[in-house]
Amino acid sequence: MGLKPQNDFTTTTLNTAINWARSNSMWPMPFGVACCAIEMMASLMSKYDASRFGSEVLKFAPRQSDLLIVSGRISLKMMPVLLRIWEQMPEPKWCISMGACASSGGVFDTYTLIQGIDQFIPVDVYIPGCPPRPEAFIDALMTVQAKAAKGQAKSQEYTVKEGAV
């Protein structure tokens, strides 16, 4: 009454297996500087549970992260720090712009704030709202996972402008 071995087998390519592993083990690097960061933290709590997507390990070390989450307003003085973090992350890497401030400057249309981080960093997913809901963060995370599973990364198509900041 033992188990009979089946003659079934699965084939795949190495790239497909690697992309599947990448998509199911995202290690986010949070860069939260305002109220959007509170919503990002809420999405990691038990009610929304981002850990079921393999993204519960927040890494505050850019060299160990593959997903940058920018949440909040970014000033001109913070942009070089954010660029340094982005450049230290290994390829392939993805970026989520969380909230109106990171995506477009929000209601803060002043000379001291960046009017959208996509001027300096390639953004894969924008999350609208002020502040956005944790459900929107989970949806963005699933969108980035789908891109990773297909092997798509905007960072590979984009170069940072020299002397931009």
| Res 22: pLDDT | 80
| Res 165: pLDDT | 47
| Res 86: pLDDT | 92
CATH code for residues 25-155: 3.40.50.12280
Whether the CB-CB separation of 94 and 59 falls below 8 Å is answered with: no
The Cα 64–Cα 106 span in angstroms is 30
- Please state the domain extents for the chain: 25-155
pLDDT tens digits in sequence order for the chain, 165 residues long = 566 667 776 777 888 888 888 888 788 888 888 887 888 888 777 777 777 777 777 778 888 888 899 988 888 899 999 999 999 998 888 999 998 888 888 777 888 888 888 888 999 999 988 888 888 888 888 898 888 888 877 765 554 444 544
The Cα 11–Cα 26 span in angstroms is 24
Beta-ladder partners of 127: 98
Whether the CB-CB separation of 25 and 66 falls below 8 Å is answered with: no
The tokens describing 108, both together, are 């803060």
Cβ-count burial 29-60 (b if 16+ within 10 Å, e if not):
bbbbbbebbebbeebbeeebebeebbbeebee
